[in-house]
Amino acid sequence: MTAPIVPAPENSVPTVALQAAIVADANGAPMTPTNIAHRGGPVNPTAAALVARFGAAVVRSEVTWGETTVFVTREALHGMVRWLHDEPSERYDYLVDVTAVEYRDADRPIEVVWHLRALAHRRFLRLKVELAKRATLSVPSIMDIYSGADWLERECYDMFGIRFEGHPDLRRLLMWETYKEGYPLRKDFPLRGRFSRAEQLKQALAADPEARYSMEELSIADAFDSLPDDMKRRLAERAERLDTSHVSDVGDEVGE
């Protein structure tokens, strides 16, 4: 069931229905609401604002347990998140999580999920992009908008195999870099893994745990030397960009 989209108010003040859904104590502090309907309810006004701004790129929206989810196209995702972050009337300044959902139904697409909060407006918004399982599993990275997306996107790639285009250092986070068994949270992943326990133990013992970290995370020269060549190249490029950015910031401070 898809909840209807209500028109967005002219200003950034929540609608009366949305204000009623924000429970507060005697001092005005927000509280966890109770007795929320499973389906339907007040729609986050940002949903209508996205329709007005991006039109057909908004596929549909729904409200589940009081939370608004907006399904959008893969191509429009990055521009939408940039607008939600920068637009003064929205100001979604906190990226809560980046994850994915795969259902047992083989024909149902994988959903890539972004949880956003606008702290000043007390708004929560869930964005979803649907990807066909047999298609290329990739979406735009939003790390250039939220730096905190770094490890969130890496974890999603590590567990589901979804690539985040534009991520400066997309590599495994929980599993080691040379892990060969696939993506553990995919529905086709065996509970015991794809290899025998003996082979799993052999690979685990042969792995260099320190090689999972960049030079920014651990200053261990031996660990850096054991990284694959392509990862060394990516880290070198990233370090060069950070150095350039640092020099630019220092120059701005001196100019002031």
Residue where a domain stops, chosen among 126, 150, 174: 174
Residues 214 and 107 in one domain: no
Q: Is residue 70 within 8 Å of residue 40, measured between CB atoms?
A: no
pLDDT at 29: 77
Q: Is residue 195 part of a domain?
A: no
Residue where a domain stops, chosen among 148, 174, 200: 174
CATH assignment of the domain containing 92: 3.30.460.80
pLDDT at 178: 77
Q: Is residue 235 part of a domain?
A: yes
**What count of Cα atoms within 13 Å lies in the side-chain half-sphere of residue 157?**
22
Q: Is residue 204 part of a domain?
A: no
Tally of structural domains, the chain: 2
Residues 61 and 160 in one domain: yes
Residues 235 and 128 in one domain: no
Domain extent at residue 244: 210-256
Residues 158 and 256 in one domain: no
pLDDT at 16: 43
Residues 28 and 149 in one domain: yes
User: Measured between alpha carbons, how far is 125 from 158 in angstroms, rounded to an integer?
Assistant: 25
Q: Is residue 86 within 8 Å of residue 73, measured between CB atoms?
A: no
Q: Is residue 250 part of a domain?
A: yes
Residues 51 and 168 in one domain: yes
pLDDT at 237: 84
Work out whether the CA dihedral 33, 102, 177, 232 comes out positive or negative.
Answer: negative
Q: Is residue 245 part of a domain?
A: yes
Q: Is residue 186 part of a domain?
A: no
pLDDT at 12: 43
Residues 155 and 234 in one domain: no
* pLDDT tens digits for range 43-92: 999 999 999 999 999 999 999 999 999 999 999 999 999 999 999 999 99
Treating both helix axes as pointing N-terminal to C-terminal, what angle do 46-54 and 77-86 enclose, rounded to 10 degrees? 120
Q: Is residue 192 part of a domain?
A: no
The whole-model pTM stands at 0.70
Residues 99 and 21 in one domain: yes
pLDDT at 205: 73
Sites in the chain below the pLDDT cut of 50: 1-21, 220, 250, 254
Q: Is residue 199 part of a domain?
A: no
**Which pair of tokens denotes residue 55?**
């039109």
Residues 245 and 132 in one domain: no
Residues 99 and 221 in one domain: no
Residues 221 and 130 in one domain: no
Residue where a domain stops, chosen among 125, 147, 174: 174
Residues 156 and 222 in one domain: no
Look-up of token digits 């229905």: 17
